């Protein structure tokens, strides 16, 4: 049985959707963050296709109201680096020409070419291009696919994880979709080696450094905090490295000029599950994921924040078929089994079996005798050789907390950004993951130590970027 409930608040609207089994816990942790960024470039020309220098160009994010001003050079070219993904309005003005406007959507890691045509005319006249035609990727040889927030928000996702959407990208072959709270998939990109991808979050590395025996990804982002991700299959630009197995660049969400918030609870359990064929009882399954997010303006068109928190509590299990010693074998009686040889009885250099295949009680080590008392008794008919005579359920307990937050400051003359053309992005991602395992044999009353405690794992990504001028950026 599974259920999912979610509240979403956008501007002055409050929407409840998919209200299944619903428990809402809202907690906000606002920390600092940075964004995976992109660039917008282009050339300004007149009606005769001649380049126009010294054109004033304003690039404005339609959601945050943040604008950047640049001047085209002698070749009519302009470029703005390190701006956040989103929808932008590009406006070009020059005395003697009618202003020209275009709108374009910039995605993660993209360099978008937006050319502008100025017509001779009065300043009061304006030429606006409103056709929603997707611009071609003319500034990069990299081949990639962007999965944006519309897919993330609207498609059904197992375990409330967006990792399965990687399969939407061309050239991706899914080997194992993943399971459990982490749900890290194993896949191949464009024929590359599995478990050999380069994962980045807002430009910071979130790669596994243990080895190729585990998935490459070590950080899971809540759905409400993930804006989009790009899967780059080949022909990587010089900024990418680390691996030839594909690049996955993820971008966290940001605050806008409107307050946006959400709260959710995702539930799975074993109410409608069938018992495993080999198991005596139904393996338990309890998964609860709950949390919320909130973003909005601190100063309109200047400074924005976003914060997200998610908690995951999971108990899962698997049926394990194994072999345990019978009561007779614990007393040294192995009659009917393969011969047991006496290591102290050699005749002519050859080993001799115990008489009747029974080990004398005085030859059994007292420590081994005491330890055998803690083994469970067989609970099923074994194979012809006596193997596979016990079945039990393992149990895994997971507790995970993820906090994501950011603050963005733009054109803040009164704050720490004294330069009106400067920008600042700060980002923090934190994940604390702990789990403890209960072995299948430990679920019986004989074993005094039931669990194998595991040390909690902590993952953190912190970054800070400051763009001093449109063409100059510093990142820590």
149: which DSSP letter? Answer: H
Q: What is the reported pLDDT for 123?
A: 56
Average pLDDT over residues 133-149: 71
Q: 350 is in which domain, residue-wise?
A: 331-365
Instruction: Considering only residues 331 and 420, tell me which one the structure prediction assigns the higher pLDDT.
Output: 331
Q: Which two tokens stand for residue 12?
A: 């002055």
What sign results for the dihedral spanned by CA atoms 362, 364, 368, 373?
A: negative
pLDDT at 231 over 80: yes
358: which DSSP letter? Answer: B
Label residue 283 left, alpha or beta by phi (over 0 means left) and psi (-120 to 50 means alpha): beta
| Any domain includes 432 | no
Q: CA-to-CA distance for 408 and 224, rounded, in angstroms? A: 18
Q: Write the secondary structure of 257-279 as one string of H (helix), E (strand) and C (coil).
A: CCCEEEEEEEEEECCCCCCCCCC
Tell me which of 55-64, 124-133, 412-421, 467-476 is least confident.
Answer: 412-421
| Any domain includes 276 | no
CATH, residue 44: 2.60.40.1120
pTM score, whole prediction? 0.72
Closest CA to 218 of 171, 189, 245, 250: 250
Average pLDDT over residues 60-79: 93
Q: Which two tokens stand for residue 56?
A: 């004033």
Domain boundary among 97, 129, 161: 129
pLDDT at 211 over 80: no
Domain boundary among 129, 163, 178: 129
pLDDT at 17 over 80: no
pLDDT at 406 over 90: no
Q: What is the reported pLDDT for 445?
A: 38
Q: CA-to-CA distance for 14 and 338, rounded, in angstroms? A: 72
Q: How confident is the model at residue 472 (pLDDT cuts 50, 70, 90)?
A: low
Q: Which two tokens stand for residue 151?
A: 């897919």
| Any domain includes 395 | no
Mind listing the pLDDT tens digit for each residue in 249-290? 888 888 999 999 999 998 888 888 888 777 777 778 888 989
| Any domain includes 154 | no
Instruction: Considering only residues 436 and 224, tell me which one the structure prediction assigns the higher pLDDT.
Output: 224
Mind listing the pLDDT tens digit for each residue in 292-340? 999 999 988 888 999 999 998 888 887 788 888 888 888 899 888 888 8
Q: How confident is the model at residue 71 (pLDDT cuts 50, 70, 90)?
A: very high
Q: What is the reported pLDDT for 122?
A: 66
What sign results for the dihedral spanned by CA atoms 161, 164, 169, 174?
A: positive
Instruction: Considering only residues 209 and 229, tell me which one the structure prediction assigns the higher pLDDT.
Output: 229
What sign results for the dihedral spanned by CA atoms 25, 29, 35, 36?
A: negative
Q: How confident is the model at residue 139 (pLDDT cuts 50, 70, 90)?
A: low
372: which DSSP letter? Answer: H
| Any domain includes 54 | yes
Q: Which two tokens stand for residue 435?
A: 């789990």
Of 59-68, 125-134, 277-286, 367-376, the range with the highest mean pLDDT is 59-68
Q: To the nearest whole number, what is the mean pLDDT of the chain?
A: 78
Q: How confident is the model at residue 30 (pLDDT cuts 50, 70, 90)?
A: very low
| SS3 state of residue 367 | helix
Specify the residue for token string 């998610």: 310
| Any domain includes 67 | yes
What sign results for the dihedral spanned by CA atoms 31, 34, 36, 38?
A: positive
Closest CA to 397 of 432, 430, 438: 438
pLDDT at 49 over 90: yes
Q: CA-to-CA distance for 35 and 229, rounded, in angstroms? A: 12
Q: What is the reported pLDDT for 75?
A: 94
Average pLDDT over residues 242-251: 85
E-only strand ranges, 317-379: 319-322, 341-347, 350-353
Number of domains composing the chain: 2
Of 206-215, 240-249, 347-356, 424-433, the range with the highest mean pLDDT is 347-356
Tell me which of 76-80, 129-133, 438-442 is least confident.
Answer: 129-133
| Any domain includes 42 | yes
Tell me which of 23-32, 43-52, 233-242 is least confident.
Answer: 23-32
| Any domain includes 81 | yes
Domain boundary among 86, 106, 129: 129
């Amino acid at each position: 049985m599974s259920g999912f409930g979610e509240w979403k608040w956008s501007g002055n609207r409050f929407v409840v959707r998919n209200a299944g089994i619903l428990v809402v816990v809202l907690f906000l942790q606002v920390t600092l963050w940075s964004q995976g960024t992109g660039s917008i470039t282009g050339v300004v020309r007149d009606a005769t296709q001649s380049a126009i220098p010294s054109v004033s160009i304003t690039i404005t994010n339609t959601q945050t109201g943040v604008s950047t001003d640049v001047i085209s050079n002698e070749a009519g070219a302009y470029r703005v680096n390190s701006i956040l993904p989103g929808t932008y309005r590009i406006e070009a003005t020059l005395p003697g020409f009618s202003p020209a406007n275009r709108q374009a959507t910039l995605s993660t890691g993209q360099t978008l070419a937006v050319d502008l045509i100025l017509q001779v005319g009065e300043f009061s006249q304006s030429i606006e291009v409103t056709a929603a035609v997707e611009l071609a990727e003319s500034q990069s040889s990299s081949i990639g696919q962007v999965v944006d927030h519309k897919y993330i928000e609207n498609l059904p996702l197992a375990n409330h994880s967006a990792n399965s959407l990687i399969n939407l990208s061309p050239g991706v072959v899914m080997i194992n979709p993943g399971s459990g709270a982490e749900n890290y998939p194993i896949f191949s990109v464009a024929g590359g080696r599995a478990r050999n991808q380069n994962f980045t979050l807002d430009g910071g590395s979130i790669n596994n450094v243990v080895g190729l025996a585990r998935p490459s990804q070590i950080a899971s982002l809540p759905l409400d905090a993930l804006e989009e991700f790009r899967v780059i299959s080949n022909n990587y630009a010089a900024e990418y490295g680390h691996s030839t197995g594909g690049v996955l660049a993820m971008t966290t969400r940001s605050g806008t000029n409107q307050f946006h918030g959400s709260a959710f609870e995702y539930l799975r359990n074993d109410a409608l599950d069938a018992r495993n064929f080999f198991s005596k009882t139904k393996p338990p399954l309890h998964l609860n994921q709950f949390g919320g997010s909130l973003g909005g303006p601190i100063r309109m068109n200047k400074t924005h924040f976003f914060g997200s928190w998610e908690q995951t509590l999971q108990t899962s299990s698997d049926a394990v078929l194994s072999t345990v010693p019978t009561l007779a074998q614990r007393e040294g009686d192995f009659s009917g089994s393969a011969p047991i040889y006496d290591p102290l009885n050699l005749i002519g250099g050859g080993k001799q079996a115990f008489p009747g295949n029974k080990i004398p009680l005085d030859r059994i080590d007292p420590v081994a005798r005491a330890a055998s008392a803690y083994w469970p008794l067989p609970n099923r008919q074994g194979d012809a050789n006596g193997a596979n005579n016990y079945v039990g359920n393992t149990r895994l307990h997971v507790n995970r907390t993820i906090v994501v937050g950011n603050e963005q400051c733009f054109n803040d003359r009164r704050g720490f950004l004294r330069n009106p053309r400067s920008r600042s992005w700060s980002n923090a991602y934190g994940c604390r993951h702990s789990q403890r395992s209960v072995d299948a044999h430990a679920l019986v009353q004989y074993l005094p130590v039931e669990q194998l405690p595991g040390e909690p794992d902590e993952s953190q990504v912190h970054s800070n970027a400051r763009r001093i001028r449109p063409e100059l950026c510093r990142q820590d």
